[in-house]
Structures are given as structure tokens and as C-alpha cells.
Structure 1
Amino acid sequence: MRTQVVIVGAGPAGLLLSHLLGLDGIDSVLVERQTAEYVQARIRAGILEAGTVELLRDAGLGARLDVEGMEHRGIHLQWPEHRHHVDFADLIGRSVTVYGQTEVTKDLMAAREKAGRPAYYSADGVTLHDVTGKPSVTFVDSDGKARRIDADVVVGCDGFHGPSRASIPDPQVWERTYPFAWLGVLADVAPSTDELIYAWHPDGFAMHSMRSPRVSRFYLQVAPDEDIAAWSDDRIWAALSERLGVPGWTLETGPITEKSVLPMRSFVATPMRHGNLYLAGDAAHIVPPTGAKGLNLAVADVALLARALTAAVRGDDRLVDAYSETALRRVWRCTHFSWWMTSMLHRHGDDFDARLQLAQLQRTVTSEAAAKELAENYAGLPL
């Protein structure tokens, strides 16, 4: 088989890139090692930046998003006895939308099937060849048949553990592992808040989010090696009530349907291009989830890359030549913002560090300039 672009990885980044290229008449084939059912069921980020929402709408992917997405004007920042609303819409004229990655993936899969774009799921032994010359990708398909796809370009949207980044010789890597993790909880209970709550507490960070008007998502700061079996439902609700509690507010509880411990780390690998191989999303960078940047950063990568590859097909290589440098400017900005949010809200260090965190929180909610800085980064830089 031959195509113009082979995309390794059929998560939301790979699916969106294939969709955007298709709108410009560029053929692509998706290759994914997991089953389609596994990809669609993955629970990930739930906050879409304003630019991500606009891009999805412009690409014809906004029908269900506009009905089921929950627009939020801002977030709540909290510490004991205090809860303050940071209104992004008032500050910068942009909002965010709660619409889970699972839902985005469903919309993208439906669009792929409607357009008839080819995809191979359950691909085994995916290997990249001659990425600095005439690239190809080989694998064994779900029927056990060996396949080879020749292409002009290979794009790695295959995450941290995929083969794409490993095909770049001697990448430069920056990494930080944080000394805490999140205990993530999904519960069948209506949200007790209108918008997300980010709470600093002496016992550790807590967050109240939501997936729908009937399903809530919660996070608790725990140790990286936390034994999830030690957290009964009663213990989880008690900790959430303590860390999220403020006078006059009650946390509603309900059946807990999912628990998991999520490690916290930052990772950036450069370059994001090697010959005719390009990296996008988690294949090149990972951020802690505190700033809600992971999915949005992947969307920004593929939006930039789709424009660059389209221009290159038409004879203009300037955007593809600048892709890595251009993408990394945004990557490092979002990495810094994610680090800043994480460092401000998670209990670590001694009491001196705690006082610094509280001073930063107070500054953020009392200074218009500081609040705007948070709003601009959280709601998203322009694509």
C-alpha cells in the first residue's frame, strides 16, 4: 500500500490529524496497536481550550460538542476557609468547555468512518523504516497478515511508549518526576460545583471536576507509591469533604465507579522532526494534568502540522522546516504553566513553602494582572 502520510497512533491526535489532512485532500492511513474499543474507552482529559473548541467546530466536528459540552467561564481557586472564582470570560473574553477526551475520540472515529479513511487497529510489531529517505511502516494486522505502507511522511502520534520517538537518534530529553500523584475517582453523582475547584489544603491538593451533569470526577494528592486498596469509598469521601470543604457548601456523594493512581511528571523530547518523521502529542511531550494542557497541546501540534504538511504538498516547505521549533515554543510555555499550577497547589516541602504557596494564591485572586496571566494560559494561547 502507498499513501501520502502514515500516522502511527489512532488516539485523538492521530485521528484529528487524519481528519484535517483529509479536508485538504491529503491521503493518510492510521496504524494503531490497540483495539478501536480500547482507544475509544480511554478516560483522559476533560477540559477543552477555547482554541480547541473553535478548531473542532471549523473542522465539522462540533455538532455533539455544542449540545453536550459544558461551557465554563472560569475556575475556583481555594484554600482553607476561602474560595474565589477566577472568571476567564470577564478577564480575557474566552472560556473553556468540559467535554471528555472519550467524547472527542468518538466524534473523530465517526468522522473517519463516514469519510472512509483507512485505519488498522490491533497492529502488532509496528516498525518505522528509512525515515530520512523514503519512509515506510511495517506491521502485522489483526488477521495476522504482514503489511507494509510506503509514504512521503510518517507522523508519530503514538504516545510515550510508541516506536516513533525511538526512531529519532539521540533526542535531547528533559524530564521531571513530581514527588506526589493523584488518586483519581469517577462517581455517579451530580457535580456539587458549577465549575472546577482547585483546592490547596494542608493535607494535600484536591480537585472537583465533572464529566457530565450526572457524573463527577475528583482527585486527591497522594504518594506516588500509594496503595489504592487502602482507600475505601468512605475514606475517599471523607478526604474530599475535608479538603474541598468551605463554610456553607456541601459535597454530594454517590457510588464510586472507578479509582486509579495517576503519576505526575513532565517530559519534553527534541527535536520533533527527523527527516520525514514528525512527532506530535505525547510522543514528544507530557505535562502533569493540573493545567489541563495534555490533550490541548496535542491538538495544537496537529493543527500546526496539518497546515505545514498541506503547504509542503503544494511546494512550500517553510512551515515543515520550522515545525519543531514552532511547536516547542508552545510546548515549553504549556510545560511552564503546568509546572506553575502544580507547584502552587500541591502540598510539598515545609511550612515555609506552604506560606509561599498561599501568598501566590492570594496574589492570583486579588491581582487582575495575575488573574489574567492564569486565564490566558488556562483558556489557551491562540492556535
Structure 2
Amino acid sequence: MKTQVAIVGAGPAGLLLGHLLRAEGIDVVIVERASADYVLGRIRAGVLERTTIDLMDRLGLGARMHAEGLLHDGFHLADGERLIRIDIAALTGRQVMVYGQTEVTRDLMAAAPERGLTVIYEAADVALHDVASDRPYLTFEKDGALHRIDADFLCGCDGFHGPSRRAIPASASASFEKIYPFGWLGILADVAPCHHELIYANHDRGFALASMRSESRSRYYVQVSLEEKVEDWPDERLWDELAVRLGPEAAAHMTRGPALEKSIVPLRSFVSEPMRHGRLLLAGDSAHIVPPTGAKGLNLAASDVHYLAEALSAYFLRHDAGKVAAYSDLALARVWKAERFSWQLTRLMHRFPDGDAFDRRMQLAELDYIASSRAAQASIAENYVGLPL
């Protein structure tokens, strides 16, 4: 098989890139190791920046998002006693939208056949070859046979554990990583949210987050040690802990219900540089990971895809290779700013095992400063809603 662009990974980044390129008449094939049902079954974040919303609208795939998504003008930081509202609409003139990553993926997936976007699911043992040459290709196994796709460019949108990043020689790349000494225990339940906006809470017992997927489905998290097991947290214990950490105002409006899903997610910050090696270009989690505190994961992947689609369109439609050459530097400039914000917010809102009484006082002083400073709130709002492309 021969194509212009072969994409590894059919998550939101790979599908979004595929749709943008197909809209320009560029030939694309996407290969995905998992089944379509498995991809849709992954529970992920759901706060969309304007950039991500605009890309869906540009493709004409935003109808359900606008019908079912929840526009938010702000969010809250809590210090155990009070809610500090960050009015992002007033401070930036923009909003964010709560719409699950799974739903974004579903919309992109559903539109693929009618738009001529080829997606090959359950492609096993995907391997990338000759990525530094002008004739790269990938191989995979399906239905007991070995398949090969030759392409002008390979795009790795296959996440942190995928093969794309590993196809870049260690001598040609550098990685930067911070592993956080805790995780998030999350619960998804069909109950009304305790507040119409997100609440990020810093409590003496640790971080908590009140979020939602819709007006009738809520997503909550609490900070736990990496040694904790989901089995140690029956529903009632988790609801009790959330009520304490989120504070009295949120607890008074919390509706409890049985968990649809519970899991513990570790937190890390990670960047691999560069994001291009020869004819291989990386996007999303294959190149970088952010802790979910700043709601940047999907949105950062979308900004990568924006730059990457522009670069490949310029190459194929105008025979201009300059944007491909500049892609990594352009994307990384935004990546590192998002990494900084996510790291900063994670440091502010979580209890660290090696933290002492002084560190705790610094957190509380910072929250108190944010509560009284429009300039501090504006900085947080600008980063939360998404920096300009």
C-alpha cells in the first residue's frame, strides 16, 4: 500500500490530523493497534480549549459538541474553606467547553468512512522503518498476514507507549521527565455535578477535583499515594473523602451514587525533543505528557496537530518544505509553556510527601494572593483557556 501520510494511532490526535489532511485532498492511512471499541472505551479528560473547538468546527464536526457540551466561563480553586473563582471569560474574553475526549473521538471516528479517511484497527506489531530517509514505511500484522505501507511522511500519534518515538535513535533525541509521587483516584458516576464549574481543591489531606462530563454525569478525583489500590476505596469511603477535601460548600451540593468506573492514574511530566526526525513527525502523547491538573493533554495534542497539518499541507499543496522543517521548534515552544503551567498548578494544589510546614504555608499564601490579585488570576486564566497558537 502507498499513501502520502501514514499515521500511527487512531486516538483524537491521529483522527484529527487525518481529517484535516483529507480535507485538503491529501491521501492518508491511519493504523491503530487496538479495536475501535477499545479506543472508545478509554476514559479521558474533557475540558476543551478554543483551539480544539475551532478545529472541530473547521471540519464541520462540531454540531454534537455544541449541542451537548457545556460552555464554562470560569473555574474554582479551593483552599479547604473558600472557593476562589477564576473568571476566564472576563479575564480573557474566551471560554472553555466541557465535552469528553471520548466524545471527540467518537465524532471523528463516525465521520471517517464518509470522508474517505482509511483507519485500520487491530494492527499488531506496528514498526516504523527508514524514518530518516525520503522513503519511510511502516509494517504491521493483521489477520495473520504482514502488511507494509510506504509513505512520504510517517506521523506518530500513538501515545507514550507507542512505537513511533522509539523509532528515533537515542543519539538523535533527548527526554525530560518528572514522575510525581502520587496519583489520582477517579470515580465516574451518573449523578449531577456538585457545582456548575470545575473545582480544584488544595486540602490538608491532599488534592481533590470536582468535574463533570454532562449535567447528569460527574467525574471526581482525589490524590492518593502510588501504593494505594482501587480495592481499598469502596464508593462510600471515596465520597466521604471528597466531601472533606472539596470543602463545605461543594459537599453540601454533592450527590452520591454508584461508580460506573474507578481507576488510579499516575502523574508525570515528560517531553521528548525534537518532535521530528527525518520524515517522522510526532504529535500529542507520543512526544509529551502533562499532569492532568491543567487540562492540557488533549488540547496540547490538538495544537500539535494544527501545526502539523499546516506543515504537511504546505509541503504537498505548495511544495514548501519550510514548515515541516520548523514544525518541531514551533510545537515545542507551546509544549513547554503548557508543561510549565501544568507543573506549576500541580505544585500549588497537591501535598507532596517531602513537603514540610513551610511548603504548606507557601501554598496557602499563594492561594491567598491569587484570591486578592486580578493580575494573578489573569495569568492563570490566560494559561488555562489556552495560549495563542
* TM-score using structure 2 length: 0.97
Give the secondary-structure state (helix, strand or coil) at the position aligned to 1:237: helix
Partner of 2:370: 364
Cα offsets for 1:186-245 (capped at 9, x unmatched): 111111101000111000001100011111000001001212211111110110111112
User: Is 1:258 equivalent to 2:261 in the alignment?
Assistant: yes
Q: 1:308 aligns with which of 308, 311, 318?
A: 311
Partner of 1:318: 322
User: Is 1:336 equivalent to 2:337 in the alignment?
Assistant: no
Give the counterpart letter for 1:303 in structure 2. Answer: H
Cα offsets for 1:34-62 (capped at 9, x unmatched): 00111112110110011211221122111
Give the counterpart letter for 1:372 in structure 2. Answer: A
Question: Given the superposition, is the C-alpha separation of residues 218 and 311 from structure 1 closer, same or farther in structure 2, using an over 3 Å criterion?
Answer: same
Q: Please say if residues 188 and 262 of structure 2, whose CA atoms lie closer than 8 Å, have aligned partners that are also in contact.
A: yes
- Structure 1 unaligned runs (5+)? none
Compute the displacement of 1:258 (Å).
Answer: 1.1
Partner of 1:377: 383
- The 1-side partners of 2:381 and 2:73 are apart by 10
Q: Which runs of 4+ in 1 moved over 6 A?
A: none
Give the secondary-structure state (helix, strand or coil) at the position aligned to 1:148: strand
- The 2-side partners of 1:337 and 1:163 are apart by 28
User: Is 1:184 equivalent to 2:186 in the alignment?
Assistant: yes
User: Is 1:294 equivalent to 2:300 in the alignment?
Assistant: no
How large is the Cα RMSD of the aligned pairs?
1.0
Q: Please say if residues 82 and 247 of structure 2, whose CA atoms lie closer than 8 Å, have aligned partners that are also in contact.
A: no
Partner of 2:136: 135
Q: Please say if residues 48 and 96 of structure 1, whose CA atoms lie closer than 8 Å, have aligned partners that are also in contact.
A: yes
- The 2-side partners of 1:79 and 1:277 are apart by 45
User: Is 1:354 equivalent to 2:360 in the alignment?
Assistant: yes
User: Is 1:156 equivalent to 2:156 in the alignment?
Assistant: yes
- The 2-side partners of 1:187 and 1:119 are apart by 32
Partner of 2:223: 221
Cα offsets for 1:67-120 (capped at 9, x unmatched): 000000010111122112111000110110000000000000011122122111
Identity between Structure 1 and Structure 2 (%): 57
- The 2-side partners of 1:121 and 1:51 are apart by 28
Greater shift, 303-312 or 356-365, is seen at: 356-365
Partner of 2:114: 114
- The 1-side partners of 2:132 and 2:233 are apart by 50
- The 1-side partners of 2:343 and 2:293 are apart by 8
Q: Please say if residues 10 and 157 of structure 2, whose CA atoms lie closer than 8 Å, have aligned partners that are also in contact.
A: yes
- The 1-side partners of 2:26 and 2:65 are apart by 26
Q: Please say if residues 155 and 280 of structure 1, whose CA atoms lie closer than 8 Å, have aligned partners that are also in contact.
A: yes
- Structure 2 unaligned runs (5+)? none
Give the secondary-structure state (helix, strand or coil) at the position aligned to 1:152: strand
